[in-house]
């Protein structure tokens, strides 16, 4: 019997924003394909199953084309459909440009941009055939405005924005949409390591005077998945930081 529930695949879904997106989509009635480089947290699986949704975990690195193929193939093998892909997997290797090695630059671009491309290309092909689908890419305000010490991260996220707009134009005639989310400072493991003085300096730049929560990015992703008339857009979720 063909699966009637919508299906979402989320990369980098083991923790932080990716985990919040998984739970938010489960609560909205989606079945899930989860992905991460490390073993999934059993508590996440339990939480999703308690909500009443099904989920499958595909372990692997999105820089590997085989992993990208497996994520998409698993959706069709298990659920016979794929409605939404959220490209969330990403890393940082922050250094000032003069101290940044080519390896530092390439590592971030490979995961953030090439990983997004790998999964998008496989999913996009399937979605064109089914004449429906939505791809959501996690960009960043850094990709829109740049930041000292993050040339590699900024380049990768700016690339994601360009990729998003191009995919949106290519997919529109077959009802395949593609959008991006540009989070600002979100309370995750990445921001938890900031020193108090740095945190205070950043908060001074945010009109809402707080970091965002992963669930607030997740609700933006669900909006983009559900609104059928939004494509090629970058939704900034930053508390007014870039006003």
Q: Is residue 51 in a domain?
A: yes
Q: Which residues, in sequence order, are CB contacts of 201 under 8 Å at separation 6+?
A: none
Rounded to an integer, what is the distance from CA 4 to the centroid of its chain? 24
Q: Which of 153, 178, 188, 225 is the catalytic position?
A: 153
Instruction: Enumerate long-range contacts of 189-193, CB under 8 Å, 24 or more apart.
Output: 189/15, 189/16, 190/16, 190/92
Q: Is 15 annotated as a binding residue?
A: yes
Q: What CA–CA distance (Å, rounded) separates 55 from 189? A: 24
Q: Report the phi/psi class of residue 133: left, alpha or beta, with left for phi > 0 and alpha for psi in -120 to 50.
A: left
Q: Is 88 annotated as a binding residue?
A: yes
Q: Which range marks the domain in which residue 173 is found?
A: 7-237
pLDDT at 101: 98
pLDDT digits (tens, 9 = 90+) for 115-144: 999 999 999 999 999 999 999 999 999 999
153 included as an active-site residue: yes
CB atoms closer than 10 angstroms to residue 28: 16
Domain count, the chain: 1
Query: Residue 119 belongs to a domain with what CATH number?
Result: 3.40.50.720
Q: Is residue 243 in a domain?
A: no
| pTM of the full structure | 0.96
Q: Is residue 1 in a domain?
A: no
Q: Is residue 162 in a domain?
A: yes
| Cβ 16 vs Cβ 216: under 8 Å | no
pLDDT digits (tens, 9 = 90+) for 54-105: 999 999 999 999 999 999 999 999 999 999 999 999 999 999 999 999 999 9
Q: Is 157 annotated as a binding residue?
A: yes
Q: Is residue 242 in a domain?
A: no
DSSP state of 44: H
- The DSSP result for 165-213, as a single string, is HHHHHHHGGGTEEEEEEEE-SB-SHHHHTS-HHHHHHHHTT-TT-SPBP
Look at residue 3 and tell me whether its pLDDT is greater than 80: no
Q: Is 186 annotated as a binding residue?
A: yes
CA-CA distances (angstroms) from residue 40 to 27, 43, 76, 116, 213?
19, 9, 21, 20, 21
């Amino acid at each position: 019997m063909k699966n009637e529930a919508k299906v979402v695949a989320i990369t980098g879904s083991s923790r932080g924003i990716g985990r919040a997106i998984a739970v938010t989509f489960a609560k909205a009635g989606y079945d899930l394909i989860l992905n991460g480089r490390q073993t999934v947290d059993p508590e996440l699986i339990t939480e999703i199953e308690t909500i009443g949704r099904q989920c499958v975990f595909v372990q692997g690195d999105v820089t590997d084309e085989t992993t990208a193929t497996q994520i998409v193939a698993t959706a069709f093998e298990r659920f016979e459909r794929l409605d939404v892909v959220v490209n969330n997997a990403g890393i940082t290797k922050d250094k000032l440009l003069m101290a940044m090695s080519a390896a530092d630059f390439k590592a971030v671009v490979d995961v953030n941009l090439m990983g997004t491309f790998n999964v998008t290309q496989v999913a996009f092909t399937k979605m064109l055939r089914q004449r429906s689908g939505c791809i959501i890419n996690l960009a960043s305000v850094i990709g829109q405005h740049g930041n000292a010490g993050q040339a590699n991260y900024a380049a990768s996220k700016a690339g994601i924005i360009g990729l998003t707009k191009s995919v949106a134009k290519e997919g529109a005639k077959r009802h395949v949409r593609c959008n991006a989310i540009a989070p600002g400072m979100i309370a995750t493991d990445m921001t938890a390591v900031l020193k108090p003085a740095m945190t205070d300096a950043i908060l001074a730049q945010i009109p809402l005077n707080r970091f965002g929560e992963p669930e607030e990015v997740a609700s933006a992703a669900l909006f983009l998945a559900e609104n059928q008339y939004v494509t090629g857009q970058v939704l900034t979720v930053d508390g007014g930081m870039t006003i």
